[in-house]
């Protein structure tokens, strides 16, 4: 490539308390990127690019990978088996350098060149992330043609609105009683519910579009139960912490 990465790109350390999202969907390909891989391998990005350049030396045709075919959002491309390394410019602390989008086929060629124990662990984690992302996309595609799923999905939108409205009311109720965490109720309750039901958050496809039917039913039922509990708690004048604790206990039961 004409643009080489800046050798002064800072070292990026992994943080187990804030796990990195390893893969995403771009142009019909499930991809990771060189910055994410470097962070997860606990190596400098510049060092990571040196290893990538060695791959290009062995496979010169990969150096000029063409851009992914533009695909409709949420739809897998049929050429995912072709290794892709797409260069892009990015800036870190005022310094511009080249990073790469890397699809699954490219990942399988590249990561074995790292021989550390960290790389062995990362290999399994990335593979799992690639497979989960593809599974979500395939499930979402199946759901588009499943009339029962579509019926449940439409019916669940009303339950979701009721749940959201109750959380808004509960946030105002809690604020009035001295809560400092009320702005985060929506994200916190959603996270607790998804965790309890083993639902993984994805940006594309949307979380609810890629659920199995039994997950849709369980999610709608739990959100409806939580909405009722919150409403009854506020009507009874309970302390907001008690309502929240009761809701969390109900969520843990699934």
DSSP characters for 162-195? HHHHHHHHHHHHHHHTT-S-GGGHHHHHHHHHHH
**Cis peptide, bond prior to residue 205, ω within 30 of zero:** yes
Which of 47-56, 143-152, 166-175, 204-213 comes out lowest in average pLDDT? 204-213
User: Is pLDDT at 16 greater than 60 in this prediction?
Assistant: no
pLDDT tens for each residue of 102-127: 999 999 999 999 988 999 999 999 99
| Ordered strands of the 29-33 beta sheet | 24-26, 29-33, 95-103, 85-92
Asked if 96 contacts 90 with a C-beta cutoff of 8 angstroms, the reply is yes
Q: Please state whether beta strands 85-92 and 29-33 pair in parallel, antiparallel, or not at all (unpaired).
A: unpaired
The reported pLDDT for the residue numbered 44 is 94
Asked whether 219 and 199 are in contact (CB, 8 A), the reply is yes
Q: pLDDT by residue (tens digit) across 40-69?
A: 999 999 999 999 999 999 999 888 665 555
Sign of the torsion angle spanned by Cα atoms 114, 117, 122, 128:
positive
Q: Which of 38, 41, 39, 36 is nearest to 22 (CA)?
A: 36
pLDDT over 70 (residue 38): yes
Give pLDDT, residue 7: 32
Measured CA to CA in angstroms, residue 196 lies from 100, 211, 252 at distances of 35, 14, 6
- DSSP of 27-60: TTEEEEEHHHHHHHHT-BHHHHHHHHHHHHHHSG
Helices (H) and strands (E) counted in the chain, each on its own, are 8, 4
Q: How far apart are CA 52 and CA 69, in angstroms?
A: 23
Q: Which of 215, 222, 208, 213 is nearest to 253 (CA)?
A: 222
* 3-state percent helix, strand, coil for the chain, nearest multiple of 5: 60, 10, 30
> If you average pLDDT over residues 137-154, what whole number do you get?
91
| pTM for this entry | 0.68
Is 170 within 8 Å of 243 (Cβ atoms)?
A: yes
**What kind and span of H or E run contains 103?**
strand 95-103
Q: What are phi and psi of 204, to 5 degrees?
A: -145, 115
């Amino acid at each position: 490539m004409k643009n080489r990465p800046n050798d002064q790109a800072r070292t990026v350390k992994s943080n187990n308390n804030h796990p990195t999202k390893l893969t995403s969907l771009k142009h019909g390909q499930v991809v990771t990127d060189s910055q994410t891989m470097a962070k997860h391998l606990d190596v400098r990005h510049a060092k990571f690019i040196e290893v990538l350049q060695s791959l290009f030396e062995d496979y010169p045709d990969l150096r000029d990978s063409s851009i992914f075919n533009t695909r409709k959002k949420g739809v897998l491309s049929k050429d995912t088996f072709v290794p892709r390394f797409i260069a892009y410019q990015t800036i870190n602390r005022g310094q511009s350098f080249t990073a790469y989008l890397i699809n699954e086929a490219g990942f399988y060629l590249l990561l074995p060149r790292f021989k550390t124990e960290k790389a062995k662990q990362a290999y399994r984690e990335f593979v799992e992330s690639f497979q989960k992302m593809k599974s979500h996309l395939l499930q979402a595609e199946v759901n588009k043609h499943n009339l029962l799923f579509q019926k449940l999905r439409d019916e669940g939108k009303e339950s979701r609105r009721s749940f959201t409205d109750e959380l808004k009311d509960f946030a105002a109720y809690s604020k009035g009683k001295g809560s400092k965490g009320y702005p985060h109720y929506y994200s916190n309750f959603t996270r607790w519910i998804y965790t309890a039901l083993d639902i993984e958050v994805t940006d594309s496809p949307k979380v609810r579009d890629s659920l199995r039917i039994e997950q849709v039913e369980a999610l709608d039922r739990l959100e409806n139960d939580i909405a009722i509990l919150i409403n009854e708690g506020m009507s009874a004048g309970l302390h907001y912490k008690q309502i929240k604790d009761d809701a969390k206990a109900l969520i843990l039961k699934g």
